[in-house]
Amino acid sequence: MYIVLEYVEGGSLSDIAKKYAPLPEKIVANYVKQVLHGLEYLHNQTVIHRDIKGANILAAKEGHVKLADFGVATKLSENEKINSIVGTPNWSNALILFV
Protein backbone atom coordinates (compact mmCIF):
# COMPACT_ATOMS: atom_id res chain seq x y z
CA MET A 1 0.00 0.00 0.00
CA TYR A 2 1.21 3.51 -0.82
CA ILE A 3 0.02 6.68 0.85
CA VAL A 4 0.63 9.84 -1.14
CA LEU A 5 0.28 13.24 0.47
CA GLU A 6 0.33 16.63 -1.16
CA TYR A 7 1.18 19.81 0.70
CA VAL A 8 -1.49 22.44 0.10
CA GLU A 9 -0.02 25.58 1.58
CA GLY A 10 -3.19 27.71 1.78
CA GLY A 11 -4.84 25.66 4.52
CA SER A 12 -8.49 24.74 4.83
CA LEU A 13 -11.37 26.93 3.73
CA SER A 14 -12.64 27.11 7.29
CA ASP A 15 -9.26 28.51 8.41
CA ILE A 16 -9.25 31.00 5.53
CA ALA A 17 -12.82 32.10 6.30
CA LYS A 18 -11.93 32.69 9.96
CA LYS A 19 -8.84 34.68 9.05
CA TYR A 20 -10.21 36.77 6.16
CA ALA A 21 -14.00 36.86 6.70
CA PRO A 22 -16.02 37.93 4.95
CA LEU A 23 -14.63 36.50 1.74
CA PRO A 24 -15.46 38.32 -1.48
CA GLU A 25 -18.35 36.73 -3.39
CA LYS A 26 -16.20 36.21 -6.50
CA ILE A 27 -13.70 34.09 -4.52
CA VAL A 28 -16.46 32.08 -2.84
CA ALA A 29 -18.09 31.44 -6.23
CA ASN A 30 -14.74 30.22 -7.59
CA TYR A 31 -14.28 27.83 -4.65
CA VAL A 32 -17.85 26.51 -4.90
CA LYS A 33 -17.49 25.93 -8.64
CA GLN A 34 -14.30 23.92 -8.12
CA VAL A 35 -15.83 21.86 -5.30
CA LEU A 36 -18.85 21.05 -7.45
CA HIS A 37 -16.59 19.96 -10.33
CA GLY A 38 -14.69 17.74 -7.92
CA LEU A 39 -17.91 16.22 -6.56
CA GLU A 40 -19.18 15.66 -10.11
CA TYR A 41 -15.99 13.75 -10.90
CA LEU A 42 -16.27 11.65 -7.73
CA HIS A 43 -19.93 10.87 -8.35
CA ASN A 44 -19.15 9.84 -11.93
CA GLN A 45 -16.69 7.36 -10.38
CA THR A 46 -19.49 6.23 -7.97
CA VAL A 47 -17.57 7.66 -5.01
CA ILE A 48 -19.43 9.61 -2.34
CA HIS A 49 -17.36 11.82 -0.03
CA ARG A 50 -20.00 12.09 2.76
CA ASP A 51 -18.18 14.76 4.82
CA ILE A 52 -18.00 17.96 2.77
CA LYS A 53 -17.25 20.96 4.99
CA GLY A 54 -14.81 23.85 5.04
CA ALA A 55 -12.25 21.93 7.09
CA ASN A 56 -12.14 19.22 4.39
CA ILE A 57 -11.55 21.60 1.49
CA LEU A 58 -7.94 22.72 1.09
CA ALA A 59 -6.85 25.81 -0.84
CA ALA A 60 -3.59 26.30 -2.72
CA LYS A 61 -2.04 29.75 -3.02
CA GLU A 62 -2.94 29.84 -6.72
CA GLY A 63 -6.65 29.69 -5.82
CA HIS A 64 -7.20 26.00 -6.57
CA VAL A 65 -9.11 23.94 -4.01
CA LYS A 66 -8.89 20.23 -3.31
CA LEU A 67 -11.21 17.87 -1.48
CA ALA A 68 -9.59 16.15 1.49
CA ASP A 69 -10.36 13.62 4.24
CA PHE A 70 -11.95 10.68 2.50
CA GLY A 71 -12.16 8.77 5.79
CA VAL A 72 -15.92 8.18 5.55
CA ALA A 73 -16.13 8.13 1.73
CA THR A 74 -17.63 5.11 0.04
CA LYS A 75 -17.69 3.62 -3.44
CA LEU A 76 -21.08 2.41 -4.50
CA SER A 77 -21.74 -0.56 -6.67
CA GLU A 78 -24.17 -0.07 -9.54
CA ASN A 79 -27.76 0.66 -8.40
CA GLU A 80 -26.72 0.63 -4.72
CA LYS A 81 -28.38 3.13 -2.40
CA ILE A 82 -27.00 4.50 0.84
CA ASN A 83 -29.09 3.82 3.92
CA SER A 84 -26.69 5.25 6.49
CA ILE A 85 -25.83 8.71 7.73
CA VAL A 86 -22.17 9.51 8.34
CA GLY A 87 -20.00 12.59 8.53
CA THR A 88 -19.82 15.49 10.92
CA PRO A 89 -23.18 15.66 12.77
CA ASN A 90 -23.60 19.45 12.74
CA TRP A 91 -22.92 19.61 9.01
CA SER A 92 -25.21 16.66 8.35
CA ASN A 93 -28.06 18.39 10.12
CA ALA A 94 -27.48 21.56 8.10
CA LEU A 95 -27.64 19.56 4.87
CA ILE A 96 -30.89 17.91 5.89
CA LEU A 97 -32.46 21.28 6.68
CA PHE A 98 -31.50 22.88 3.37
CA VAL A 99 -32.05 20.02 0.94
In a domain, 8, yes or no: no
In a domain, 18, yes or no: yes
In a domain, 2, yes or no: no
- 21 band by pLDDT with thresholds 50, 70 and 90: confident
Model-level pTM?
0.75
* Residues with active-site annotation: 51
Report the pLDDT value the prediction gives residue 70, as an integer from 0 to 100: 87
pLDDT above 50 for 3: yes
Can you give the residue range of the structural domain that contains 48?
Answer: 13-98
pLDDT digits (tens, 9 = 90+) for 30-80: 999 999 999 999 999 999 998 999 999 999 999 999 999 988 888 887 666
| Structural domain total, the chain | 1
Question: Rounded distance, CA 40 to CA 48, Å?
Answer: 10
φ/ψ (deg, to 5) at 71: -60, -30
Report the pLDDT value the prediction gives residue 5, as an integer from 0 to 100: 84
Q: Residue 60 sits in a domain of what CATH number? A: 1.10.510.10
